[in-house]
Amino acid sequence: MFSKIYHQAITYLYRYISWVLIVAILITACQGGIFHNPSLKSGLLPSTDCRVVEHAVGKTKICGKPQKIAVLEPKILSMMLALDVQPSAYADAYLLRLRQFSNPSQQIPYLGSFVTSQPINLGERNNPSLESLTLLKPDLILGLNSQENQLFSSIAPTVLIDNEENWQDNIKIVAKALDSQKNIPSIITLQEQQLQKVRTQLAPLVNTHPRVLNITCSQSMNYIEVIYNGDTIKLLEKIGFKPVLLADVERKLGARPQINLETLSQLDADIVIISTWVDNWDGKSTYTVPFQELKQKWSKNPLLHNSRAWKEGRVYFVDYTLWGGVIGPPIGNSLILKQLPSLLLSHSLFN
């Protein structure tokens, strides 16, 4: 009797040890990458249709067509929507206290009218919620290289683009990650056609008023920055305008010179475009930039009345979210090109 019990105990012990060894081997193998499969970890079904996407910070293997996509940046959302793909989660430029974008047309400035899904709110783009990302279990995470976080790739395959690269190159990277490349030629062609149309419309103005000063100005007017680079500057130059820059500041990537009102009043420009923003928008009220308040402050400042642009009524106020490159091409560019003729061919409200 004792011998039988002894042999049964030994058998159970051997089985237990065997299971422990198998689990240990599996854990070690997974940690070592032997069994690593990003598609399985992210929820995608295994697929032989795999591709390697080269992006700003390396290479990422993606299998199949991602269905659950987390977008960490408005610029990426602009490209994604142009490719006719909808987000499952999104981190906006504004920090909104919402669990979900249940009414995106009202809650996501400009791009929301193109969103047909109700994406989970991941918070503000510079600090997206890792907890929400983990709970979502996305198939793919898309963002900028400035948002690089090693934890992203542990949650799902991650593709990051370089904000300084041409949008035409970046959208190809995003499209390959999404497995949605067929629309790229038509997107680029339509943008060029729209640009050519606006170039023709504004040609007479370019001939007589070519010098354009682009600045960003806070509502309090205690922060003024001359815009040196960005999507809007590129568009204006392609149309034929020449940017007004500071004589002592070299034009290079990253240059963002700040000036005071006195320096601003001394800059000679045919046209002045002032982008400003709304502070502390909660996403519940209607998105409205308080242009009128800033206009009144400008109209009361005698320093700014000496410029030719002011005297000719060619001072214009626009929304930084659209014109400051927060959204970006192709949708952002398209909306700016749509506004430009009516904006510049009608005189400022100061007239």
- Out of 126, 154, 182, a domain closes at 182
Residues 156 and 192 in one domain: no
Q: Is residue 291 part of a domain?
A: yes
CATH number, domain at 324? Answer: 3.40.50.1980
Give the helix ranges, DSSP H, for the chain.
2-32, 38-42, 74-82, 104-107, 130-136, 150-155, 167-178, 184-208, 231-239, 261-266, 291-299, 308-311, 320-323, 331-344
Residues 289 and 191 in one domain: yes
Strands 242-243 and 224-226: unpaired
Query: Do residues 106 and 136 lie in contact, with contact meaning Cβ atoms separated by under 8 Å?
Result: no
Q: Is residue 238 part of a domain?
A: yes
Query: Do residues 161 and 148 lie in contact, with contact meaning Cβ atoms separated by under 8 Å?
Result: no
Residues 215 and 300 in one domain: yes
Residues 176 and 43 in one domain: yes
Domain residues for the domain of 294 are 186-344
Residues 176 and 193 in one domain: no
- Out of 114, 148, 182, a domain closes at 182
Q: Is residue 193 part of a domain?
A: yes
Residues 198 and 316 in one domain: yes
Residues 260 and 204 in one domain: yes
- Based on the structure, what is the number of domains in the chain? 2
Q: Is residue 71 part of a domain?
A: yes
Q: Is residue 107 part of a domain?
A: yes
pTM for this entry: 0.83
Q: Is residue 20 part of a domain?
A: no
Residues 102 and 45 in one domain: yes
Burial 200-231 (b: 16+ CB within 10 A, else e): ebbeebbeebebbbbbbbebebeebbbbbbbb
Residues 164 and 207 in one domain: no
Residues 131 and 233 in one domain: no
Residues 163 and 206 in one domain: no
Q: Is residue 130 part of a domain?
A: yes
Tell me how far apart the alpha carbons of residues 110 and 327 are, in angstroms, rounded to a whole number.
Answer: 8
Give the helix ranges, DSSP H, for 33-124.
38-42, 74-82, 104-107
- Out of 165, 182, 199, a domain closes at 182
Residues 75 and 168 in one domain: yes
Q: Is residue 288 part of a domain?
A: yes
Ordered per-residue pLDDT tens for the chain, 351 residues: 333 333 444 344 334 433 333 333 333 333 333 223 333 334 444 556 899 999 999 999 999 999 999 999 999 999 999 999 999 999 999 989 899 999 999 999 999 999 999 999 999 999 999 999 999 999 999 999 988 888 999 999 999 999 888 999 999 999 999 999 999 999 999 999 999 999 999 999 999 999 999 999 999 899 999 999 999 999 999 999 999 999 988 888 778 899 999 999 999 999 999 999 988 888 888 898 888 889 888 888 888 887 889 888 999 999 999 999 899 999 999 999 999 999 999 754 443
